[in-house]
Chains A and B, each alone.
Chain A
Amino acid sequence: MSLAVEASNVVKVFGNVRALDGLSFAVRPGETYGLIGPNGAGKTTALRIVSTLLLPTAGTVKVFGLDVVKEAGEVRKVISYLPEEAGAYRYLSGWEYLEFMAKFNAKSKDEVRAMVMEAAEICGLGERLKDKTKTYSKGMKRRLLVARALMTKPKLAILDEPTSGLDVVHAYHVREIIKRYVETHGVTVLLSSHNMLEVEHLCDRVALINKGRIVAEGAPQELKEKFGCKNLEEVFARVVKIA
């Protein structure tokens, strides 16, 4: 069976900035894989390349065997991407927004309805789905967007900082949504975060990324044991220092 994501020697250059510098990693089907690192490490660029938004300057990325450059259209059929700073259309209700998004993946009206019902269940916004999204709090909006990303049951969900900017309650809720969904539907998840504790809680395996390169990779427990640290934050500090 092909890998869910296979990134080989990916380089991305923006003007004078080398955002990715030979990044390589592999995500197995059904696992939750986390890219962790500080701001500016290259996490978002890596996820944008996997989700066909950016083109790599060099190297290759394959999603379930499909090349993200040559077969971008096919890749888009099997992925669902949640950007870090995603928004929803202000003058659509939550329900209308989900319907709009579902129509791109669904083949029939029944399928659209099923996806929206699924999203309603995931986000738990209840009656508030009838309100325009401009009335939502940041946390509510994020729950809606996470539900949107998962409702299509994508083969690969790409989540960039899924709990970024959320308070403890909403962040907890979003994390639970992801965890529950992955367990129930066997979706592969590639996520990024600079919140090491969150990654430890969610991910089967993680890659520590710094200056566009992977500096360590493995299961959270494995990394902690290997470097003799209490948590991933300490692992990261040590690895960066070593690297």
Chain B
Amino acid sequence: MLKGFGTFLLKELKELVRDPKILLPMIVIPLVMFPVLGAVMGYAVQTAQEQAIKAKLIVVNNDGGGWSNSFVSFLKRLNVTIYVVNNTKLDDKKVLELLSQHNATQILEIPKGFSENVTAHFSNPAVKASLRFYSVLAGTSIFEGTGSSVIDVLINQFNRAVAPDVVYSEKAAVIKGEIKYGVDPAVVSGLLMSQSIALPLTVLILLSYAPQIAAASMAIEKEEKTLETLLTLPMDRLAILWGKLSSSIIVAAVGAVAYMAGYSYMFSSIMAGAPASLNLDLASLGLVPSAWGYLLLGLSLFVAMISALALAVILSAFAEDVRSAQSLVSNIYPLVFVPSIALIYLDINTLPFALKLVLFAIPFSHPVIASKAVVMGDYWTAGLGIVYVSAFTLVVMYVASKLFATEKILTAKLKIKGLKTRRSEKPAEEI
């Protein structure tokens, strides 16, 4: 045993555990943040399941034979909410009309010859009966393909009762009012999520890197005793604030580009080994942002970044050194992490109202919301988000500029006693 190790270790542990700056971000925040995230996700899963069960399915029966009627009865027995339409020729226009007329998101067409094919299957197993399933892809939630998966389960159960593999479904996705045949919404949804994860991740990285850099650069001025001199120079004090914010954005952006380059290399390596069926082209489905969408996304990220940085600078103004500043800033992480991670999997439009409201209120949710909204062509959500975050940023910048314009930038301190905070304006140095 190393001489003195035990004594030293005990002292270290005492210091670390008793330091609220470490206790809060390292222990308390994760203990709160992840259960909150779990609760959000759990609630969303439950809601999605309930919605999937309640979802109305329009069954267009163009066959009218015995097996098609049996299939419809089978669906009814399983308590699937269905609305049956008989003998209606389905073209793209009619599909959209039916969906809108019945406020539904799914249509199952039993084509003519269905019963004939099921009967033929018993003498020739190579003959199979097809169904066509249309499903609207409205968002980018992980649950977007649930309807498609539910149909597969129902068909499997029917097949189990009748004959293995006798019925199969041909999928079509309704994306932005256009019908894409041969596209399974479940596959698109999965692909969309795995490929569009890059945007929320970039947001996550930028919003966690940049405030740390801004907070550290402000705290260094205090720690290295350069701030006092700076504040007496014939310069605009807001130039200090903007200088800190701008340099933090540049450094964080370079960091994010490096991170994303590494991430996309890793992702392309994984995709190279994936089956060809997964290589759907999202661009041809219209599921990549337009130039206008990218502009909105960039703006959304920019204003959120400015608000996070200004908040970080304000918080770091209350710290005496870099460590304290970074600890203070890490307190805003739950506001960055919870929405970013939750919105990678969930579509905000499908969430319950209260949860939606909470996520909309957090300014750092908006770049992630925008990243998904612009993919679906929903520019209003992205635009209104920018307006809201800009207003929030203006308030934060106003507070930051007030702080820089007065002596508080030099004298304000946050004293943490236990978990209580109070502000002191007594300077640290000699009176």
**With A17-B426, A54-B407: A87-B225 Cβ-Cβ less than 8 Å:** yes
Q: Report whether B424 and A81 are in contact in the complex, using a CB–CB cutoff of 8 Å.
A: no
Q: Report whether B410 and A79 are in contact in the complex, using a CB–CB cutoff of 8 Å.
A: no
Give complex CA distance A80, B229 in Å. Answer: 8
B411 within 8 A of A: yes
Inter-chain contacts of B429 with A (CB < 8 A) = 44, 84-85
Among candidates A45, A53, A55, residue contacting B431 with C-beta atoms closer than 8 Å:
A45
Q: Looking across the interface, which residue of chain A has its beta carbon closest to that of B431?
A: A19
Q: Looking across the interface, which residue of chain B has its beta carbon closest to that of A16?
A: B426
Q: Looking across the interface, which residue of chain A has its beta carbon closest to that of B407?
A: A54
Q: Report whether A81 and B228 are in contact in the complex, using a CB–CB cutoff of 8 Å.
A: yes
Inter-chain contacts of B226 with A (CB < 8 A) = 86-89
Inter-chain contacts of A83 with B (CB < 8 A) = 225, 228-229
**With A14-B425, A14-B431, A15-B424: A101-B233 Cβ-Cβ less than 8 Å:** yes
Told that A14-B411, A55-B406 touch, could you supply 20 new A-B pairs with CB distance under 8 A?
A: A14-B425, A14-B426, A42-B431, A53-B232, A53-B407, A53-B410, A76-B232, A76-B233, A76-B234, A76-B235, A80-B232, A81-B229, A83-B228, A85-B225, A86-B225, A87-B224, A87-B225, A88-B224, A104-B235, A145-B229
Interface string of B283-323 (1 = CB under 8 A from A): 00000000000000000000000000000000000000000
Inter-chain contacts of A165 with B (CB < 8 A) = none
Inter-chain contacts of B425 with A (CB < 8 A) = 14-15
Among candidates A15, A44, A53, A54, residue contacting B430 with C-beta atoms closer than 8 Å:
A44
Give complex CA distance A44, B430 in Å. Answer: 7
A52 within 8 A of B: yes
Tally of contact residues, B, Cβ under 8 A = 21
Q: Report whether A73 and B234 are in contact in the complex, using a CB–CB cutoff of 8 Å.
A: yes
Inter-chain contacts of B235 with A (CB < 8 A) = 76, 104
Within the complex, the shortest CB–CB distance from A122 to chain B, in Å, comes to 16
| Interface set, chain B 200-244, CB cutoff 8 A to A | 224-226, 228-229, 231-235
Give complex CA distance A241, B226 in Å. Answer: 38
Give complex CA distance A88, B427 in Å. Answer: 20
Inter-chain contacts of B224 with A (CB < 8 A) = 87-90
Within the complex, the shortest CB–CB distance from B142 to chain A, in Å, comes to 46
Q: Which residues of B pack against A, CB within 8 Å? A: 224-226, 228-229, 231-235, 406-407, 410-411, 424-427, 429-431
CB pairs A–B below 8 angstroms (18 shown): A40-B431, A43-B430, A52-B231, A53-B228, A53-B231, A53-B410, A55-B406, A80-B232, A83-B228, A85-B225, A86-B228, A86-B229, A87-B225, A88-B226, A89-B224, A89-B226, A90-B224, A104-B233
Give complex CA distance A86, B229 in Å. Answer: 7
Inter-chain contacts of A19 with B (CB < 8 A) = 431
Q: Report whether A54 and B410 are in contact in the complex, using a CB–CB cutoff of 8 Å.
A: yes
Inter-chain contacts of A79 with B (CB < 8 A) = 232
Within the complex, the shortest CB–CB distance from A210 to chain B, in Å, comes to 12
A24 within 8 A of B: no
A221 within 8 A of B: no
Interface string of A1-43 (1 = CB under 8 A from B): 0000000000000110101000000000000000000011111
Inter-chain contacts of B406 with A (CB < 8 A) = 55
Give complex CA distance A17, B431 in Å. Answer: 9
Q: Report whether B228 and A44 are in contact in the complex, using a CB–CB cutoff of 8 Å.
A: no
**With A15-B426, A84-B429, A89-B224: A55-B407 Cβ-Cβ less than 8 Å:** yes
Inter-chain contacts of B232 with A (CB < 8 A) = 51-53, 76, 79-81
Q: Looking across the interface, which residue of chain B has its beta carbon closest to that of A105?
A: B234
Within the complex, the shortest CB–CB distance from A138 to chain B, in Å, comes to 12
Q: Looking across the interface, which residue of chain A has its beta carbon closest to that of B236?
A: A73
Within the complex, the shortest CB–CB distance from A229 to chain B, in Å, comes to 26
Question: Which of B233, B411, B430 is packed against the most chain A CB atoms within 10 Å?
Answer: B430
Inter-chain contacts of B424 with A (CB < 8 A) = 15
Q: Looking across the interface, which residue of chain A has its beta carbon closest to that of B229?
A: A86
Q: Looking across the interface, which residue of chain A has its beta carbon closest to that of B223?
A: A87
Inter-chain contacts of B410 with A (CB < 8 A) = 53-54
A109 within 8 A of B: no
Inter-chain contacts of B411 with A (CB < 8 A) = 14, 54
A77 within 8 A of B: yes
Q: Looking across the interface, which residue of chain A has its beta carbon closest to that of B226?
A: A87
Inter-chain contacts of B234 with A (CB < 8 A) = 73, 76-77, 104-105
Inter-chain contacts of A77 with B (CB < 8 A) = 234
Q: Looking across the interface, which residue of chain B has its beta carbon closest to that of A164?
A: B430
Give complex CA distance A240, B231 in Å. Answer: 34
Give complex CA distance A15, B415 in Å. Answer: 14
Q: Report whether A44 and B431 are in contact in the complex, using a CB–CB cutoff of 8 Å.
A: yes
| Interface set, chain A 66-82, CB cutoff 8 A to B | 73, 76-77, 79-82
Within the complex, the shortest CB–CB distance from B327 to chain A, in Å, comes to 22
Inter-chain contacts of A48 with B (CB < 8 A) = 228
